């Protein structure tokens, strides 16, 4: 069973988090199911960039992004070659080290 290793994020997981996940789950769903409240303003429909993550290790185990995801990523803050939308990045059979960027571009940010 692969592990997702979330690097520390000041607000979402200050200590970082390591979780075991089943292959076939998105990084976003795995984060949400394990108490990492990653932003997902478009309800995981690949229509925004708020769930942008950088896959620091294991990136090549993910399926390639499609054109729609690439177009959205072009708008993401802090884009890197290993950037993905976590709602579209499906865990395969390798461990992933995931960094959640400090900032997201969210035009309508709801405060809880």
Looking up residue 75, the CATH number of its domain turns out to be 3.10.20.30
Q: Is the pTM of this model over 0.85?
A: yes
| 111 within a domain of the structure (yes/no) | no
Q: How confident is the model at residue 110 (pLDDT cuts 50, 70, 90)?
A: very low
| 91 within a domain of the structure (yes/no) | yes
| 106 within a domain of the structure (yes/no) | no
| 77 within a domain of the structure (yes/no) | yes
| 47 within a domain of the structure (yes/no) | yes
C-alpha dihedral sign at 92, 52, 112, 36: positive
For the chain, how many structural domains are there in total? 1
The pLDDT, as a whole number, for residue 105 is 67
Q: How confident is the model at residue 106 (pLDDT cuts 50, 70, 90)?
A: low
The pLDDT, as a whole number, for residue 112 is 41
| 107 within a domain of the structure (yes/no) | no
Q: Find the mean pLDDT for residues 58-81.
A: 95
- Using a pLDDT cut of 90, give the percent of the chain over it: 89
The pLDDT, as a whole number, for residue 103 is 78
35 closest CA partner among 1, 77, 62, 4:
4
Q: Find the mean pLDDT for residues 17-23.
A: 97
> 103 CB contacts (<8 Å, ≥6 apart)?
77, 78
83 closest CA partner among 92, 94, 95, 72:
72
Q: Find the mean pLDDT for residues 61-73.
A: 97
Q: The domain containing residue 60 runs over which residues?
A: 3-99
Please determine, for residue 30, whether its predicted confidence score (pLDDT) is greater than 80.
Answer: yes
Q: Find the mean pLDDT for residues 46-70.
A: 97
| 108 within a domain of the structure (yes/no) | no
| 87 within a domain of the structure (yes/no) | yes
Contact present, 65 and 87 (Cβ < 8 Å): no
């Amino acid at each position: 069973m692969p592990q997702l290793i979330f690097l520390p994020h000041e607000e979402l997981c200050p200590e970082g988090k390591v979780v075991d996940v089943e292959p076939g789950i998105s990084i976003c769903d795995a984060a949400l199911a394990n108490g990492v409240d990653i932003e997902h303003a478009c309800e995981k429909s690949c229509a925004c960039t708020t769930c942008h993550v950088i896959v620091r290790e294991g990136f090549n185990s993910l399926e390639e992004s499609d054109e729609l995801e690439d177009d959205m990523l072009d708008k993401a803050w802090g884009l890197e070659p290993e950037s993905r939308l976590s709602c579209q990045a499906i865990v395969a059979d390798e461990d992933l080290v995931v960094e959640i960027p400090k900032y997201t571009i969210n035009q309508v940010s709801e405060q809880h």
